[in-house]
Chains A and B, each alone.
Chain A
Amino acid sequence: MAVPRLWRHIPTRYNLIGTECQTCGGLYFPPRTTCPTCRRDGRIIERKFKGTGEVVTYTTIYSASAAFHRQTPYVLAIVKLDEGPLLTGQIVCDPDEAKIGMKVRPVFRKLGEDGPSGIIYYGTKFAPLTEASQ
């Protein structure tokens, strides 16, 4: 990934910074610059999402792209954030731990790297929400 593009993604990836339309209350992640409902009447502001949510559905990846094939098997899920938006993310748990409806919390992990000498990408993955982590 080009370094400037990675750099632009830092707020969204590290802290789940999305956007909110003050006109209609719509919440967006990843961030949108225009509200698809209000169009030119929309007033978009920055909005940080907590990162807690629920697994809507998931799959276990056994055959991954070159960047991820050493991590297989891993769980990739669609997570519905408590505030509403859906996003795709990795769940750091054993495949047999993953359940639809499972509550999750955000964790800070390495998302990838441009080889051994390139830039490292960090960002948010999800982990099962346990009593100790609340």
Chain B
Amino acid sequence: MIGITSYGAYIPRYRIKVEEIARVWGDDPEHIKKGLLIYEKSVPDLDEDTATIAVEAARSAIYRRSIDPKEIGAIYVGSESHPYAVKPTATIVAEAIRATPDLTAADFEFACKAGTAAIQTCMGEVAMGAIKYGMAIGADISQSAPGDALEYTAAAGGAAYIIGKKNLITEIEDTFSFTTDTPDFWRREGESYPMHGGRFTGEPAYFKHIISATKGIMKKVGTKPSDYDYVVFHQPNGKFPLRVAKTLGFSEEQIGLGLVVPMMGNTYSGSSLIGLAAILDQAKPGSMILMTSFGSGAGSDAFSMTVTDGIEEVRDKAPTIAELLKNPRYLDYALYAKHKGKIAV
């Protein structure tokens, strides 16, 4: 059986509250908080980017399971904010965890689902016996144009997963994907900020793809919503995942543990993966978890997995999501704009 051997996450310590962004743009913060179910979001430090976030998450995953990095045969980093257009983030991660040189590495891009696509690629290579362990990372310092609705949610963070056949903390029963050409959100080459189709990002994009992929995995594995203890969906805001859960027949108890977006925002490629990490921080052996990501453009990857006894050995060996969210430093909009490079000088 293939599954997750270890995981690690990273969230920068800086935050900005919805009230502060709304103050600048003349919006009603209560309307935003109620509408998006989001209260604050993480902001990278001046010297943090997708590569540094990916490295911190990767090191946490290595440390949690004390894995020899030389046994990692593949590293894939999914992001839509890679620091270089040409020069892989995955090479920086590989060097920083001392996994070089006998491995393959590449950067993935599929909006917010590039990290789960990386997990599927690792599963394939582990299954064929080409590698012992593969590392899949989803990390982003998400961009949003000043004044755009996205600014309330676009956050920074990431998570790394080590996929293998041995020392598992979850066994992955199967994976199922649903992909179409749906232009709901995009960023053209050389542009600083993404564009989106407003309300079009809902029904034909997020909901259609997540519902189809989730139904697809349950049909493939032969499960129903009530079989799962926990479910995690991509979290562009707090409202969408709650609504899609209800539509699919999942309860608020099933989705609650992995719903991390209200206090940290949407970490794009890190979003569903950080939600999964929050579940693994607490899930008991035998618990069943369903995860479905969503990437604009558009596609969803769904995974059905069961937590093993191995979780108890590794859970406390690296910082949990709750610990990473502790002691935030709040920024005003001006300092936030400086941190995000939104002030051109």
Task: Give me the interface of A with B, judged by CB distance under 8 Å.
Answer: 10, 14-15, 70-71, 92, 94, 107-111, 120, 122, 125, 130, 132-133
Q: Give the contacting residue for B329; candidates A15, A70, A94, A122; CB below 8 A.
A: A94
Closest to A116 in B: B341
A122, B326: Cβ atoms closer than 8 Å: no
A120, B95: Cβ atoms closer than 8 Å: no
The verdict on B25 contacting chain A, using a C-beta distance below 8 Å, is no
| With known contacts A70-B338, A71-B47, A120-B84, A110–B52 Cβ distance under 8 A | yes
B319, A122: Cβ atoms closer than 8 Å: no
Q: Which residues of chain A come closer than 8 Å to B47, judged between CB atoms?
A: 71, 92, 109-111, 125
A10, B84: Cβ atoms closer than 8 Å: no
Q: Give the contacting residue for A109; candidates B48, B98, B327; CB below 8 A.
A: B48
Main secondary structure of the interface of A (DSSP, over half): mixed
B52, A15: Cβ atoms closer than 8 Å: no
Task: Give me the interface of B with A, judged by CB distance under 8 Å.
Answer: 45-49, 51-52, 55-56, 59, 83-84, 92, 95-96, 98, 319, 323-324, 326-327, 329, 338
A108, B83: Cβ atoms closer than 8 Å: no
B49, A110: Cβ atoms closer than 8 Å: yes
User: How distant is A70 from chain B, measured CB to nearest CB, in Å?
Assistant: 7
With A and B bound together, what is the CA distance between A14 and B83 in angstroms? 17
| With known contacts A108-B55, A110-B52, A133-B319, A14–B96 Cβ distance under 8 A | yes
Q: Which residues of chain B come closer than 8 Å to A122, judged between CB atoms?
A: 51-52, 55, 92, 96
A10, B52: Cβ atoms closer than 8 Å: no
User: How distant is B154 from chain A, measured CB to nearest CB, in Å?
Assistant: 20
With A and B bound together, what is the CA distance between A122 and B51 in angstroms? 9
B59, A108: Cβ atoms closer than 8 Å: yes
With A and B bound together, what is the CA distance between A125 and B338 in angstroms? 20
Q: Which residues of chain A come closer than 8 Å to B84, judged between CB atoms?
A: 120
